[in-house]
Structure 1
Amino acid sequence: MLTPTIVTLTMNPALDIATGADVVRPTDKIRCAGSTYDPGGGGINVARTAQELGAPVSAIFPAGGHTGNLVTNLVHDARVPLRRISIAETTRESFTINERTTGMQYRFVLPGPRLTLDEQRQCLDELRLEAASAEFVVASGSLPPGVPPDWYQRVADICREVGTLLVLDTSGGGLTHVTNGVFLLKPSIRELRECSGSELATEAEQLAAARDLVDRGVAQAVVVSLGADGALLATAEHSQRFSAIPVHAVSGVGAGDAMVAAIVVAMSRGWTLTEAVRFGIACGTASLLTPGTGTCSREDVERFFELVGEAEDVDVAYT
């Protein structure tokens, strides 16, 4: 097995179940037709996509119970090398219903198992071992109950110690308790608003909030995903906007993770950050065409990459 260039950490993996129904109504029995089962959680989704794009990658995650076994088997079936930390409680499930009559999507996300202090320590020990020989660590997703909110700062400290670049995609307390050591931070606009405590109604305000994270030393670069409005990139040197590719989405679940995966894969190939974000937009777009949290194809990603417009430099006065 190739030494992984990219190592992903998923502290709160899930068995992602997706199905469809004609109409979703309260109190009624919802008759569903067909279902898909995928291993989920931010880092696992990143690892599966990176594997599809041809990058050497491995996935670290805690897992327990019958659901944890299913997730582990599905990651293995995706040909992703893995490091499982066995835990006492059962790995969570997430459930997505696509309403066919309206095209609306309903997502039900459970909080996840509670990890003991020893299980948490094992996760960090495994990360330290794997990260020492990797170029990038991608820490992605929510934190399960029992894991302290400064967890990702501990991950950043480990990455600094072993000389590995950290890419972080998280929300809530896991994001606000990070103070330094991130190479690239990828919040959605919702997550950036939560982090800043402001509405961020204009592009200038969004870029200013992203640049503030750079100026405070939280991250060297911040990529803000804006969904149908594209993305923004802020570094100490410049700011850029990127347009989205309009498509009819089948499912938006995992699109942000696909974007992160492609950005990291591109950087591992030595591409510029601007080109890496363009590649990320292409991969996120391709992911919109897959049901559930299925992995998009490399051919679709490359096809969409040809359609991504050039980045536009943005001149914003930061205060």
Structure 2
Amino acid sequence: MRRRSLLFAVPAGLLTLAACGDDKTDKGSASKSSSPVPTDSPQQSGKIVSGPVPDITAGKKWGEKPTVAKGSGTPSSDLAVKNVLPGSGVTVAKGDHLQANYLGQIWSSAKVFDNSYDRGAPAIFQIGMGQVIPGWDQALVGKKAGSRVELAIPPALGYGEQGNEQAGIKGTDTLVFVVDIVDSFNAKSSARGKKVAQEDKALPKVGTNTDGKAPSIDVPKTAAPTKLVSEYVLEGDGAVVKETDSLLVQYKGVLWADGKEFDSSYQREQLAQFGLSQVVKGWAQGLTGKKVGSRVLIVVPPALGYGDKPPQDGPIKKDSTLVFSVDILAKM
């Protein structure tokens, strides 16, 4: 099952990068996940009750793939939410990018229709904004990272009367989810890795603040490098980025020629998400091999950026060298 492309919508500022990327489909692992995303999400809300929800019979620890019993009796017509294991991390807010592992099955049959545990990586969904089924939007906002939450979602707050034929979900099915909340990111999120010395005076110096504000980028008054530069500013300890991955990032871009900013997720107050196959080669090559949780300086020479075909009517001119600070928040 594929997550709907809605969740891969590239923010406006990054479209200019994607326009010059390779014409490959995104092969990142995130594209394999879809179950909380309906074909036509019924924008409804309902009462939240504490149960009933089926028993978790195995995999009871946070982060373990759970086994969930078949639903007993008639499920509630309301949204049932049980805090199985309370967390103590950041509180999930409306509009955040929620990172979570989950398993979904049908109440009446215990048929599992999707789970992220077998894929070996949590999924990321923007929560509370109608991009996932209403039951998720209602139940998970306000929960804390580190929590395990079990949901029993009635049809009206799931896939509605149309169900989801591809997943084998009928319009009358109540859905059961176990969700392990890993983290939550928003427009104030920053990389929080270990500071790395920036000793090369021929390279731009990037600020190391982690307060969610855009870091400074000071470009030296020297000739631009002719080869790609990719250096840690803050080195995280997360998973290594692969060339097939999709990422959630904060970034800022300036021109080497005059240091002027031409694009920034901070300015838009919106995180960027993309597959590395969708962006200019300088980004794809510069971020591959780096660790999640890092801030990376990337200097993109024209040949790996826009070359002699810059975006029309924009600040990037022919044969511009581009300088980026990129915070790798998560793999999608």
| Rg larger for | 2
More strand by share: 2
* Same structural fold, with TM-score higher than 0.5 when normalized by the shorter chain: no
Ranked by relative contact order (alpha carbons within 8 Å, sequence separation 6 or more), the top structure is 2
Higher helix share: 1
